[in-house]
Structure 1
Amino acid sequence: MRERLPQTIHALRKLTGHTRIVGISAATGENVRNTMVRVKGLVDALPRQTYLELLDVDEDEDNRVNFDAQETEDFEVITDARFPGQYRIVGKQIERIVAMTNWDYYEASQRFVRIIEAQGISDALEAKGAQQGDLIMIGE
């Protein structure tokens, strides 16, 4: 690419009408620091705007998202007296998480434990009487 750099810069200048075009290389670090310093200077020179102005959103209360008011995804822990020690968790979100998890990775099971604890599923299982070693199934 280095041998084509002059032609590429010339073509970009012609196409965009900009004259300050510089080739950089993440692999070698060439011109990266200089470019970052220049970009920071340009960003610092921009007028300060709130994120709402950038998104062109009114600051009305109606447009705001209240994360505290968000309900957690519903799930249900199903048990059957004919099958003691077996529990089934049913819920769209947890079933989607299970389907999207790549179980080939060691960290996947650790992440899944954190998710079911955060969603209150562990507490719900304990409340239904689930113990270490019981069979827990997710989904139909």
Structure 2
Amino acid sequence: MAGTPFVSHVEWCVTDLARATALLEGLFGWRFAPYGTRYRLYTPAAGGTCVGLLQVAAVQPAATTLVHVCVDDLDAALARALALGARPHVAPTAVPGHGRYAQVLDADGNVIGLFEATPAAAALRS
């Protein structure tokens, strides 16, 4: 592989594909496509990291890699997540010089991180 390694995709294990798909599509506007009978895949149009949902019989909550998704407005995203059925996990917390984050739990106990970058931190990524 030439160049710098990057994250190709992230997978969340879920017990109910329809419920997990509804949460993430409603929260982030992502559109998942079926990929077999126990998998859904979101592929960003302009590059970026793909997100997969793998249906499993049981999930071991909070025993997975933690992923934070960048959002423009943390408070609005947090309110939307809660309205879609997520549960609060970590209240909005400042990360000096970088931004703010919060975390919610989906119905299976998976942690979904939300991150709002400061303008200076966001400029470093563009």
Regarding TM over 0.5, the answer is no
Shorter chain as normaliser: what TM range? under 0.3
The structure with the largest strand share of the pair is 2
TM-score, structure 2 as length reference = 0.25
Q: Is the radius of gyration larger for structure 1 or structure 2? A: 1
